[in-house]
A and B are shown apart, each in its own frame.
Chain A
Amino acid sequence: MTDNTSQAPEEPINNRSARLLVARAGALPWWAFLLALLFVYAFIRISTSEEYQDILDALIDRPSATTSDKFDVVYEVDTEVQVIQEALTLRQPDGTRVNIDIDDVEGREEGRLACDRQADPDCVDQFGQIVTYRVPAGDGDTPVGTAEKRGVLAPEGGLFTIVNFPNGSSIIIDPNNITSREEGTLLCNHVLQPGCQDLTGEIVTFELPYVLKQGLLLREDAVIRHPDGYVETVRPNRLSDVETQECTREEIETCFGGEYTTAIFRERVVGTEVTSDGENIKVRTVNEQTVFIPRERIINLESGLVECDRNANPRCQDFQGTIVAREGAVTSGELSLETNRSVSIIPEGQTTSVEIPKANLIQDEEVRSPENCRVEDEGACFITVKEKDSVVAGRIIKDTDEGITVQTVAPVFVELDPDEAESTRRAPLGCALNNIRGCNAGIWLTLLVTFVAYGLALMIGLVVGLMRVSSNPVIYHLSTFYVELIRGTPLLVLLLFFAFVIGPTIRDMKPINLGLFEFSLSGFYAILNDIEVAVLGEESFLSEAVLGLAIGYGAFLAEVFRAGIQSVGRGQMEAARSLGMSYPQAMRHVILPQAIRVVLPPLGNDFIALLKDSALITVLALPDLLQLGRLYITRTFQPIPVYLMVSLLYVLLTLLLSMMVRYIEKRFKLP
């Protein structure tokens, strides 16, 4: 056979295939030509229109050739930090807040905090964690105990014994309560209180009577100092291995109160993975920001101290750089939107608008034509605005004849040894040929969700379909219940139910103890979350959406499989059993292979239906084809071309997939 065709001369084959093509085309229905015409039209429109290409780019998340931004990463690294303070914020019964030191805590318990109705008649009791803490007894109080404190005795003077503390406060004590005296220095916490003074003199240790108070726990904080000097407030539960040792200021500059407390802090390094040379991974935690200033707009250029942007990077340091005075830019074009705060202008020759805050504009220099025109007016309103002069501070990183480029925020890189990371999460970033995992939006997400949900639905359908032909009444009724329940629920409702009822329920479920081992659905939820992060880069409703679609379609497919199995004659099962095969063996080798062939066409139909129904996941804010289209509309206010394009892409996908389905059907067809 093959020999024959390869030996035949070129011409006849071409002729033959051409004739075949004509013959095939003749067999096509009339609407196929209409569809083809539509595609040709769409193709011409798309290939000639920039607007449509923009839309297409947005919808399919078009891959670029290469990208260096491959992954968003979250590494968790353990660092040893100094614990400077641990404090609780409490709500007192009268409604006011108070910060207390962790050392003053006497006890904690879950419970109710009765509110003070004398202070506030309308107040409501609060439930939560109630903290009991010590407060120095006042004049009228009856103390319930005493706590040991240390302070420096103020120079003798007068009737009272006054004790000073390094934080600047002082109290009057009863000299009888002093238990010991020594000469020395009390160290102050200059990190929390810059400029405070260490106290030298006679240090006294004394018993301070206290009373107990209660408050509702609002927040728990720990102030920690990183090895590089950066101080931040974190949740104490991220600290472990807390250890305290004695210290002096001569040994350690950040020794406070004679004690030095360290802890292991699990720090998150969040950023974009730039390179990974096998050993170290370079993570860009802060993106660089640059401003280009054309030469003609430079008014003045001088060196000076650049205050770094602590919003972008809390750990950054001010540096010596360049400060550029820049003349305000002039923008003119069509006014597209105007609010109290800003104007949006489509500059001449461009398609997208730029938004300029009104605060940056020089009001007197604004020109409109027609005069005083507004967006609502009929016809276009052209506007020319001039921005105020401004100052740009940073480092000059490029200096050309056209102008200079100033880096206002420097990129921050962190080098990590992956072996030191306690945990790693990588979320794909740019869609590119060298980073296929980054292709996770638009058409790709629609396809991904469709294929995965369909795969799961096939498994569910097969299992439930087999249960539906079982002679065991329990199995039969269980599967029938599932099928009827799910088929009676709209898919949209099912999706919302999974996202907002089943998801949270599983997440918050306590582990179930089955005696031998603990079974935890919340662990399952965590795994799904990890998958979501791996796929989409963030926790989302992706798994809920896929499971909802799979379970919804599983019910349909179960009925398809049941019908398929029942369509295979009884004689087949009997023949297989009479040869000594068990029921599962007969199912697997004889019944199912035949049933599958019978159900391939309906399975294919359901596959295409699922592709279209996958658009429902848009309600769960997943960036699928439809969702990207809708987002594009909110940016451009152009529903017509976008929805045209969205529909076209769905039609194209279903056509491709039905071709695939038909091919598979042909492959499996029996002679």
Chain B
Amino acid sequence: MTDPIIMIQDVHKFFNTSRGKFHALKGVSLQIMPGEVVTVIGPSGSGKSTLLRCINRLETIDRGSITVDGIPLSGAKNINKVRAEVGMVFQSFNLFPHKTALENLMLAQRVVRKRGRDEAVEKARGLLKKVGIHDKESSYPSQLSGGQQQRVAIARALAMDPKIMLFDEPTSALDPEMIKEVLDVMLELAKEGMTMVVVSHEMGFARAAADRIIIMDEGYIVEENVPDELFENPKSERTKAFLSKIIKH
């Protein structure tokens, strides 16, 4: 039996706000095995993004522990090394607007992985081809559609050869006709055996690719199950209410 690649144990997270401390994660525990695809759903403000951001320490945790690929995050000397192993895709793409698509893919390779120019270019071209936009390599982000931008963002994360990919609502900022091209790329990745944690309300993707679905609400994990089970007979009332809302869409 292999060890989990992500181990989250009793994690608490507080935010300092003007109205005092806000308890965003209230004792979350979760284990994800290598190659597993986990989809996280839940109402807005339930702490999904916070959980995701804790996994690559964009947020620090206040209690509990997170271990990624055997490295405990709280003690990690070089968090940048861990981050390079964990790719992240944002809802708002966050491409570097002053760089072309190709350069977006090359920057971290050169700066973090210290790859040579030719190697970085080759890798970047290969990935752009994989996500289907090799003909736009010298376009700036502002010259690309939302779907194309998000695919470049995925390719940018993949360029670092990550072991884990985190997706934070990758399709919710996209026009409906562009959602599919991004989901296709993600399905492809899932098929290749990438470990993925996906915050998304795209039930089609969850059904097709997810090994497990996690439901979050108000900082707790309220339910987790394999997709079919969960959709057919959700256990908690909250899950039922939430599912009825998103499936109507």
Contact = CB atoms under 8 A, between A and B. Distances in A.
Interface residues of B, number: 27
B38 interface: no
B14 interface: no
A578 B159 CA distance: 13
Contact of A671 (B81, B92, B140, B156): B140
A581 B80 contact: yes
Contacts of A576: 96, 108
A577 B83 contact: yes
Given A577-B58, A579-B112, A581-B80, A670 B97 contact: yes
Interface in B76-92: 80-81, 83-84, 86-88, 90, 92
Interface stretch (A203-211, A332-340, A535-543, A567-575): A567-575
Interface string A590-607: 100110010000000000
A132 B35 CA distance: 96
A175 to B, nearest CB: 96
B231 to A, nearest CB: 31
A581 B88 CA distance: 13
B143 A581 contact: no
**Most chain A CB within a 10 A radius of its CB, from B58, B87, B97, B157:** B97
B195 interface: no
A458 B80 CA distance: 30
Contacts, number: 66
B84 A580 contact: yes
A571 B169 CA distance: 14
Contacts of B153: 575
A585 B111 contact: yes
Contacts of B98: 593-594, 597, 670
Contact of A572 (B96, B112, B142): B96
A589 interface: yes
A597 B153 CA distance: 23
Contact of A581 (B56, B87, B111, B157): B111
A431 to B, nearest CB: 42
A139 B216 CA distance: 115
A670 B94 CA distance: 16
A585 B58 CA distance: 16
A582 interface: yes
A585 B80 CA distance: 11
B212 to A, nearest CB: 23
Contact of A578 (B83, B111, B143): B83
* Most interface-central of B92, B98, B140 (chain A CB within 10 A): B98
B112 A585 contact: yes
Nearest to A591: B96
Interface string A370-409: 0000000000000000000000000000000000000000
B4 to A, nearest CB: 21
A528 B82 CA distance: 48
B107 interface: yes
A574 B58 contact: yes
A575 B90 contact: yes
B215 interface: no
A589 B111 contact: yes
Given A594-B98, A670-B97, A578 B86 contact: yes
Contacts of A670: 97-98, 140, 142
A117 B172 CA distance: 99
B145 to A, nearest CB: 15
Given A577-B83, A578-B83, A594 B97 contact: yes
Interface in A417-433: none
Given A670-B98, A670-B140, A578 B112 contact: no
A581 B153 CA distance: 16
Interface in A542-593: 569, 571-572, 574-582, 585, 589-590, 593
Interface string B149-177: 00001001100100000000000000000
Given A579-B83, A579-B84, A579-B157, A572 B94 contact: yes
B164 to A, nearest CB: 11
A580 B142 contact: no
The 4 closest A-B pairs by CB, nearest first: A580-B84, A575-B94, A579-B108, A571-B94
26 contacts: A569-B94, A571-B90, A571-B92, A574-B58, A574-B94, A575-B95, A575-B96, A576-B96, A576-B108, A577-B58, A577-B80, A577-B83, A580-B80, A580-B108, A580-B160, A581-B108, A581-B112, A582-B80, A589-B111, A590-B96, A590-B107, A594-B96, A670-B97, A670-B140, A670-B142, A671-B143
Interface of B: 56, 58, 80-81, 83-84, 86-88, 90, 92, 94-98, 107-108, 111-112, 140, 142-143, 153, 156-157, 160
Interface of A: 569, 571-572, 574-582, 585, 589-590, 593-594, 597, 670-671
Given A575-B96, A582-B80, A590-B96, 19 more contacts: A569-B94, A571-B94, A574-B94, A575-B90, A576-B96, A577-B80, A577-B83, A579-B83, A579-B108, A579-B160, A580-B80, A580-B108, A580-B112, A580-B160, A581-B112, A585-B112, A589-B111, A590-B107, A670-B140
